[in-house]
Amino acid sequence: MKIKKLETFTKPYVSFLKTTLEDGSQGFGQMSTYHADITAQIFHKQVAPWVLDKSWEDFNDIENLVLEKEHKFPGSYLLRAIAGLDTSLWDLKGKLENKPITELIGGNIGSLKVYGSSMKRDISAMDEADRFKKLFQEKGINAFKFRIGAECGRGLDEWEGRTEDIVKTINKSLDSSVKKLVDANSCYSSSQAIEIGKLLEDNNVTHFEEPCPYWEPEQTKEVTDSLTIDVTGGEQDCDIRIWKDMVERKIVNIYQPDVMYLGGLTRTLQVAKIIEEGGYVCTPHAANLSLVTICTMHLLKAIPNAGPYLELSIEGEDYYPWQQDLFLDNPFKIENGCVTVTDKPGWGIDINPEWLNNSDYQVSDIN
């Protein structure tokens, strides 16, 4: 069975893809968020022409064909576009076999513990602590990640003294059973990160994400080797060669691939296997409530080296207005600190028809 039609439904931050086979079977996927309008152009120009009228069953082969044909463009945007194809093919397969994706890859449906992931740096320490306490009390979430330093901040804090204040305030304010994680988003030099790391250790933080510029892995390894808490990273990396190198050199303690940045579930499963063979835990990056988090839910229910928590954004319309009303119902409903992977086929979600109708439409098909 061959691919007959590829349709995109795009807004600036999100682009959904519908793949249709010769027999009319269909699946929905999503390209990576952020500048999705650009990614959709790349998809129709550099992905769709190579896969139309091709057999759909071997996802790895068809995606490698695109990468080979577009070998002059080995970077992030092409993989963000391929993610749309890959996730739509998995959805299609799940619907044809009447199974959720996690069962297709060896997993089981059911509940999954989450950590509440804050994206805000413009929030005071007490305000951050207050919303964590509320989510702990009302939703049962017992792990939270908050931001320190400035994003790619060249060693600077978001404002003077904020990092020390928020680390100490969160530690004092939350129940002692609550796990505390931080994300520095490539802010610090290795020496700064080691100093900050000691502050984190003293305040019961267990997870120190992307402490140094991610493109300087030697700096990150210095931090990993100097601290007792887990240093984590990998979300930005989309080259399999880099993943093999990071694991072989033991750059971090916990690895965090992003399904959409990597090019979809197929390549993420390959990376998860590399991480597993290195003896490490895989806790994927999933920083917004689009399809990336749904994909990660299915992945974590299947891989043997899954971390204990799913990253689940706690941000709403004030921070992520574009993620509102993407899906019908609420696939991210939290009960007792957990979300649920259901037995619905494919990704188990229904994209909001109104959202699709109000998006920019483009089609590539067999003439």
**Residue 26 in tokens:** 């269909």
Does residue 315 contact residue 332 with C-beta atoms inside 8 Å?
Answer: no
Q: What is the pLDDT of residue 20?
A: 98
CA angle 81/365/3 to nearest 5° reads 75
pLDDT, residue 367, reads 73
Which pLDDT score is estimated for 318?
Answer: 95
Radius of gyration of the chain (CA): 20
Distances (CA, A) of 22 to 5, 95, 102: 8, 15, 26
Q: Class for domain 102-341, per CATH?
A: alpha beta
What number of CA atoms fall less than 13 Å from residue 217's CA on the CB side?
Answer: 18
Local mean pLDDT, 10-residue blocks, the chain (367 residues): 97 98 98 98 98 97 98 96 98 98 98 98 98 98 98 98 98 97 98 98 98 98 98 97 98 98 98 98 98 98 98 97 95 98 98 98 93
Residue intervals in the chain for CATH 3.20.20.120: 102-341
Per CATH, domain 3-98+353-365 is 3.40.50.620 = no
Classify burial at 335, counting beta carbons within 10 Å of its beta carbon; exposed 0-12, middle 13-18, buried 19 or more. exposed
How far is residue 95 from each of residues 31, 55, 72, 83, 339, measured CA to CA in Å? 19, 17, 35, 18, 22
Kindly report, as residue ranges, where domains of CATH 3.30.390.10 are found in the chain: 3-98+353-365
